[in-house]
């Protein structure tokens, strides 16, 4: 039924449009594929399409969110990092591709690129290649390795999922709290925790 594939699209979209590192979208793809016995290649194709739309929208609204939450100096610092990343050319895109091939949340990449005002065309094509490849492998593995629905549900809260979540949060923390101008220009590692606007800093304190 078409609505079952629509669930795949919506589920993948919702997992990848939020600015927090949720478990990878392939978990919902595997779950729905097994539950409804869907064609695996349609699940992968439609799921990746939902993920790409979610990530694209994330890059559009993250700059607005960052302007409201972080100080101007922090936003300019991350933008500087983005300019350096673009200067790397194919090496920067190769790094993005390598990350997307890993079973880790890609949220940090899109938060960083959104804050840095990097054009989505720089990230999305590489993300598509890596995402389609990694999801195709993972969904196939899930299809043959999962014996029943309970195992898939358990997998969503498994140790690897928790580790990937923690790594995603750690990556975001690196983007936010490292002074990138000091690191890249002066080769000096500096942590700056005064990056939030006053109203958010009070809430965190």
Give the structural domain span for 11. Answer: 2-204
Q: What pLDDT does residue 204 have?
A: 45
C-alpha torsion 142→143→149→155, nearest 10: 0
Beta carbons within 8 Å of 13's beta carbon, 6+ residues apart: 50, 51, 53, 54
Q: What pLDDT does residue 12 have?
A: 93
Q: What pLDDT does residue 194 have?
A: 72
Domain count, the chain: 1
User: What is the chain's pLDDT, residue by residue, as a tens digit (205 residues)?
Assistant: 788 999 999 999 998 998 876 777 888 888 888 788 889 999 999 999 999 999 999 989 988 888 887 777 777 777 777 777 777 777 878 888 877 777 666 777 888 888 888 888 888 898 899 889 888 887 877 666 554 445 545 555 555 556 666 665 676 676 667 776 677 667 778 777 776 666 544 444 4
Q: What pLDDT does residue 169 have?
A: 65
Q: What pLDDT does residue 98 have?
A: 79
Total-model pTM: 0.68
SS (H, E, C) the chain: CHHHHHHHHHHHHHHHHCCCCCCCCHHHHHHHHHHHCCCHHHHHHHHHHHHHHHHHHHHHHHHHHHHHHECHHHHHHHHHHHHHHHHCCHHHHHHHHHHHCCCCCCHHHHHHHHHCCCCHHHHHHHHHHHHHHHHHHHHHHHHHHCCCHHHHHHHHCCHHHHHHHHHHHHHHHHHHHECHHHHHHHCCCCECCCCECHHHHHHHC
Q: What pLDDT does residue 39 have?
A: 92
Beta carbons within 8 Å of 124's beta carbon, 6+ residues apart: 52, 55, 56
Q: What pLDDT does residue 205 have?
A: 44
């Amino acid at each position: 039924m078409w609505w079952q594939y629509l669930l795949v699209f919506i589920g993948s979209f919702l997992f990848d449009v939020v600015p927090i590192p949720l478990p990878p979208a392939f978990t919902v793809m595997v779950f729905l594929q097994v539950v409804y016995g869907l064609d695996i290649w349609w699940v992968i194709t439609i799921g990746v399409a939902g993920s790409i739309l979610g990530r694209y929208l994330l890059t559009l609204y993250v700059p607005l969110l960052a302007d409201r939450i972080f100080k101007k100096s922090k936003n300019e610092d991350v933008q500087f990092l983005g300019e350096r990343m673009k200067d790397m050319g194919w090496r920067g895109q190769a790094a993005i591709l390598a990350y997307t091939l890993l079973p880790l949340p890609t949220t940090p990449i899109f938060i960083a690129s959104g804050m840095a005002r990097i054009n989505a065309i720089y990230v999305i094509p590489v993300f598509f290649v890596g995402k389609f490849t990694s999801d195709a492998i993972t969904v196939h593995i899930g299809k043959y390795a999962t014996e029943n629905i309970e195992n898939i549900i358990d997998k969503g809260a498994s140790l690897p999922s928790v580790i990937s979540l923690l790594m995603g949060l750690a990556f975001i923390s690196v983007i936010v709290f490292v002074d990138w101008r000091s690191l890249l220009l002066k080769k000096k590692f500096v942590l700056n925790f005064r990056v939030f606007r006053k109203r958010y800093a009070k809430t965190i304190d």
